[in-house]
Structure 1
């Protein structure tokens, strides 16, 4: 059987060997990180090392990093920051933010937005601030901003300290860490009710014994991701992505690459051929040995149009035909070009059936 090619990094990046090694080492440590004895201190040291590694990647202070079970839990900061106001959410936001959207009279108490949209890779610029420090958003002026940095961190530069945002959310598995661990970055001086009331871990901001092994993997992945960026590996990924897109468009001049001329993540292609359903393409490519998607992993498998593609103004038929290919530094060129060849073969069959 031909080896499979994984081209769905925006859903979940492959686990980095550095993360696996750190997790295995952490699993050998017995103590609870809240315990004061030597075993507990050893576990605490693992957590704090990872906290510093994540902070270095995100451009924040270690004390601003709150470990969570993932970005969805971290997004629960939104109603806590609204402070009696309502939660406004960018139309291109991930479902974990969209679930908290509200409405009401007056200005919102908090605005949430992605730095990079995961289905298309489109980048979103931060809103401006007025002389009073209020964020000027399409929903109105608001004193607080939460940024979803899940798809961006580790692929493009992000400096939380300079962003001015009150909070950001991260997920380990998008940058090669384990699934089931993430972080809320909460600016110093911003207080919230605990995401999970209980024993008061994470300085009272998220109770529950820390997932030491998962956090260790997160930290190691963050350090490795920072090294990749410093080495210019994502520029190489962008060049391979562009080569793939040129080949796809040569095979299908009628295709639309969504956001091709706009700022995007270096690894993401969203392409649509009207009338050729995205779900059909995903199944065909899967059988051919290529893992791609027809949208975010949180909505894949659900027979409904993409909310995000609709917000971008795509016609329903085109939105239903969109697929996403997302790659990374470990993706070999032969896998990408093999995908192009397989996609072109199935495109010819689609054209023959439609004739």
Structure 2
């Protein structure tokens, strides 16, 4: 029996290109799709696949991405992109690149510059929309040393940190991607500011560190926000004491949930920042925070407090008494 996410049986190369029976039936049933995507070439088929993925993310169709074949196909390395370096361009990413004209115009996938750019877009725009997990091979690539810059200079940090650096203009202004001195700060920033559905993969390696070491890792990742760093250093003793009180609530099995990162500092700042006004219960916290003058510090403080609002804090009622 043909399942909806099996390869379309009457489309050439459907299995290799990732066109399911469900996606193909949708195309056959709509005049506008047949006009927009003639499916007379490999690129047109992939462009249609990109549209189909986009339409699912936008809720324009009630289709889903499931089934072993489709998940495996969309998660594999895109065979049309040179992955040496290493890189982590999946079939899903490539199909989206084929569909979105702005991505094709902006990112030349024959260059390292373009591939890292597409990867940045995927991690920080698309990743939250996708219901595919990042495959192990791509995680390995992201944790490897960056292949370098577009002008041929060697990279000094991981591909993941390079992608984040490329995405955020503030980081590009603060750090040089080829300077070894920037490697640790960028790596720390990468770990603590990844989308939540990826962060755990890269924070596990920090589980063995002490509270003091984790605190230092966090500070290293924020040198470009001097007011924030000054605050954390000034209140180091109190912040670490708060962390040790909260530490049991920041772990989940083998995975460190941002220990020394947003969860820790969110509670620590709430407790220790003297001008912070906190109202409501621990499950519905509201803040009035006089933000620092430094605009980048404002961004970080906002991220911290928004992160705390999103957490289920019902088991942390003791924080009110710290």
Q: TM-score, normalised by structure 2?
A: 0.27
The answer to which structure, 1 or 2, has the higher relative contact order (CA under 8 A, 6+ apart) is 1
Q: Tell me which protein shows more strand as a share of its residues.
A: 1
Q: Tell me which protein shows more helix as a share of its residues.
A: 2
**Bigger Cα Rg:** 2
